[in-house]
Every structure is written in structure tokens, then in C-alpha cells.
Amino acid sequence: MGVTRVLAVANQKGGVAKTTTVASLGAALAQAGKKVLLVDLDPQGCLTFSLGQDPDRLGVSVHEVLLGQADIKEALVTTAEGLTLLPANIDLAGAEAMLLMRAGREYALKRALESLGDEFDVVIIDCPPSLGVLTLNGLTAADSVMVPLQCETLAHRGVGQFLRTVTDVQQITNPGLTLLGALPTLYDSRTTHSRDVLLDVADRYELPVLAPPIPRTVRFAEASASGASVLAGRKNKGALAYQELAQSLVKHWKSGKAMPTFAPPVD
């Protein structure tokens, strides 16, 4: 693909399978032959834990990298799935306060990633469920952003506020940021309710809803608890959906054409 693609996965609401999406999409892209770096920007370290690393036993983490106390290469670890991870732990909560006092604070991650050159084909950033300086770092470093969205009535509360943040970033720190759309997660195809929520989101926010929707599957919970991605199961519906999404992303990056949508964007 030549140039490194940087994708932020972000939503200020928790519980939307954001970390599952980052881990499983990363694993699917690695399976497709891409060199993938995953970045954990959440002080809770859920991505770090789900990829088999103990957040409490990290020597160097994204915390030191953002504050300029360590080179990014010192912090990178390789996971069992053939992915590279920039891990996080609770120390990162302190970095947010320290970054706020610095000029150019939104660019800390972007600078660190640029120092890697073209070492990776794809970087996927797991942003924390907030609109603070860590999420701004993720959005400023990315060239595109995807918004995982749970298919429930109240799940899209806050989407409007998040989209305004994306617009602010596009106007101030990252004019090249592209909003790919909302990714439906925890989708139950047996109910019309899930479908109605997606159509409402597409209509209300004029936001493309990406296909395929990621189905609700018990393997999500099992995979996170065991320190493996959903793709470890390979044949389950969740894995197949993420593999299809990965293929759509690669085609989008190659052609520049819009990704397939569940509901067409509103004109």
C-alpha cells in the first residue's frame, strides 16, 4: 500500500466493542499480510490486556512516549497474533494532565508515529471513551476515523457531540482527517430494532453506516477474557464480519472510493 494508513477508532461512549474492533480488525489486516501497529490510548489498558500483556508489568508504555521520556521503539511489544502493540496502563491517566500544560499537546502521538517512518502498513488507534486530550491526540495523528456504535436506542447519545469534535479537529489540528462512518456493533439481525437504530443514525447525523454490521456474539466476551482477538475463533460470525471489513478498508485505501454502507448516506 506504500504509505502508512492511520485509523482512529473512537466513541466517547464506552461499551460499544471499540477495543474488540481494534484488536480484531488489526488481526484481520495482519492475516491479509499487512504489518500492523495497534496503539492503546486508554488508561484502562483494555486493548493491552486483551492482547495478552499485563498492563501493570510494562517497562515502557505509551505514557512515556507521549511525554517524550522514551522513544516509541522502546515501548513496542509483539503479540501472539503477529501484531505490534504500543501498550498502555493507568500511568496514562497522569499523562493527560501533564500534556494539558504543554504547547502542541495534540501532536504528541503524531510526532511519535512519524518517527517510525514507513515501518508499518497500518496503524489502528484505540481512543479512550472521552473527548479529552488523549482522544484529540488519536484524531490528530489519524488520517481516518471510524465510530463503533452499539445498535441500541440510547447508544447514539453523544454521537452529535463526538462529530462536532471531529469537525473541530479537521478545522484546527488535522485538516486531512476523513470520517469513514459509524460501524454497527453488537448487532442482532433477528430484531427490526437494530436496523431501525442504524437507519435513524444515518438519517439524523448524515453519517454513513458501514457494512457489514458486526453481530453480537458470545465469542467477543470469551476472546477478551482469554487475551486473544475474536479472530482466534476464525469461523464465528464476528470474525467473518471483521475480515470482510478489513477487505473493504484495503480496497478503500487502494481506490479512494467510499466503503460499502449498511444504509446509504443521506444526500
Three-state secondary structure string covering 82-142: CCEEECCCCCHHHHHHHHHCCCCHHHHHHHHHHCCCCCCCEEEEECCCCCCHHHHHHHHHC
- CA distance linking residue 26 with residue 80, whole number of Å: 12
Domain ranges of the chain: 5-263
Query: SS3 letters for 140-205?
Result: HHCCEEEEEEECCHHHHCCHHHHHHHHHHHHHHCCCCCEEEEEEEECECCCCHHHHHHHHHHHHHH
- What is the per-residue pLDDT for 227? 54
Closest CA to 127 of 227, 217, 33, 11: 11
What is the C-alpha separation between 186 and 197, in angstroms, rounded?
12
pLDDT score, position 267: 46
Q: What is the pLDDT of residue 219?
A: 54
- As given in the structure block, the three cell numbers for residue 251 are 480496497
**Exposed/middle/buried for residue 35 (C-beta within 10 Å: 0-12, 13-18, 19+):** middle
pLDDT 10s digit of each residue in the chain, 267 long? 469 999 999 998 888 889 999 999 999 999 999 999 999 999 999 999 999 999 999 999 999 999 999 999 999 999 988 899 999 999 999 988 899 889 899 999 999 999 999 999 999 999 999 999 999 999 999 999 999 988 776 666 778 899 999 999 999 999 999 999 999 888 887 878 888 888 888 888 888 999 999 998 745 555 555 555 555 556 688 889 999 999 999 999 999 999 999 854 444
Q: Let me know: does 66 contact 109? Beta carbons within 8 Å.
A: yes
Q: Which CATH superfamily is domain 5-263 in?
A: P-loop containing nucleotide triphosphate hydrolases (3.40.50.300)
Q: Counting every residue, how long is the chain?
A: 267
pLDDT at 29: 96
Q: How far is CA 250 from CA 2, 126, 150, 246, in A?
A: 12, 19, 24, 6
Q: Exposure pattern of 68-107 as b/e (b: 16+ CB <10 Å)?
A: eebebeebbbebebebbbbbbbebbeebbeebeeeeebbb
pLDDT at residue 239, as a whole number? 87
Q: How many helices (H) and strands (E) does the chain have?
A: 11, 9
> What strand order describes the sheet that includes 144-150?
77-78, 84-86, 36-40, 122-126, 5-9, 144-150, 178-185, 209-210, 261-263
Q: What is the dihedral of CA 178, 65, 20, 244, to 10 degrees?
A: 50
